[in-house]
Amino acid sequence: MIEMEVSLGERSYPIYIGQSLFSSLSAKRLISTQRVAVISNSTIYPLYQTQIQSWLKDFDVLPVIIDDGEQYKNLQTFEAVVGQLLSANLGRDTTLIALGGGVVGDLCGFVAACYQRGIPFIQIPTSLLAQVDSSVGGKTAVNHLLGKNMIGAFYQPKQVLIDTDMLNTLPPREFSAGMAEVIKYGILWDRDFFDWIVKHQSDILAKEPTVIQSMIQRCCEIKAEVVSKDEKEEGLRALLNLGHTFGHAIEAELGYGDWLHGEAVAAGMVYAMMIAQLRNWLPQSDVDAVKSILAVFQLPVEGPQSMRAKDYIPHMQKDKKNKEGTMRFILPTQIGRTAIFDDVRFDELQAILG
């Protein structure tokens, strides 16, 4: 088992990465309250119900099960979860556990941030995307019809438990979607890691345990380093949104749940690279290398055929990175290096989006 830390002063917390963590880590060691509510969904909870109940046998446990899907990451589900906590008379002496993918983690974290002005929560991410990205860093939110993750808070978990065995129950499409976020780290931060992914692509596809653990560890190291320097996304942390300006537009335009988040981000990263190529920052070989590794994991390298520049822009204008009404984009200057730009022109968007 690997233990690492997200360094945020008094809000610092550990990340545990390994196999069979329920048998390796004592719940009594991690949880300081007697009452626990497990927030999960109708797909995930039945898979791990026996394990989680056994792990929490010494606690008073309330399961709170939501419907499965991005379309349920909204204020209606938030209110329903809070209602169940109130109906059970749970107070501030309660720990929430997010058992699921990014939707469950984001929703549970937001509930924890708001319920009685804040209670502790633990992330147990079950999807690759959540393990390498959304479970770390304290971004919690729900979606609004007019934009993704527009209602939320920065609220850090007490611990993150990443059990790589849970990936064995993950559908292939969900695993591929998570690989988009893995590849993102290589493009935006670490060329050596990008090359490592390319080199180990067969082992990753086969979910070779030591390779998967090393991959997740490196993603969490990068995320923890960035978050420790810029917790509330005032500058550096925005780089983690590579591909997301385009990706969120795809999700919002099509309706949440049509394209998976990682699929939309994959297409968005290619578009960001194409703008960089238009500006003569990137050689064609770099764009081709990214398209090639995305294709290995069956990820899209372009957005929906039905969408043109005019369909993206209204959503981009609502992006959280924007300042003073100016759209801001994360663009790679080379594989392994990115920066924030506010000078992307409509003709550049039209050239790549149509």
- 200 belongs to the catalytic site: no
Active-site pick, 73, 139, 148, 328: 139
Active-site pick, 35, 148, 261, 315: 261
- Cα separation, 196 vs 275, in Å, equals 25
Active-site pick, 35, 184, 218, 237: 237
| Helix axes of 209-229 and 191-199: crossing angle, nearest 10 degrees | 160
The letter for the amino acid at 78 is F
Active-site pick, 70, 174, 181, 251: 181
Active-site pick, 41, 158, 241, 328: 241
- 5 belongs to the catalytic site: no
Active-site pick, 117, 280, 323, 324: 117
- 315 belongs to the catalytic site: no
- 229 belongs to the catalytic site: no
Active-site pick, 233, 251, 253, 263: 233
Active-site pick, 73, 158, 218, 223: 223
Q: Which residues pair with 151 in a beta bridge?
A: 142
Active-site pick, 35, 73, 218, 248: 248
Tell me the CA distances in angstroms from 294 to 119, 178, 235, 259, 302, one per residue in order. 39, 11, 27, 15, 11
- 223 belongs to the catalytic site: yes
Write out the DSSP string of 85-104.
HHHTT--SSEEEEEEESHHH
- Cα separation, 179 vs 191, in Å, equals 16
- Cα separation, 139 vs 89, in Å, equals 27
- 233 belongs to the catalytic site: yes
3-state SS class at 150: strand
Active-site pick, 158, 184, 218, 244: 244
Contact 18, 24 (CB under 8 A): yes
Name the residues annotated as catalytic: 117, 139, 181, 223, 233, 237, 241, 244, 248, 261
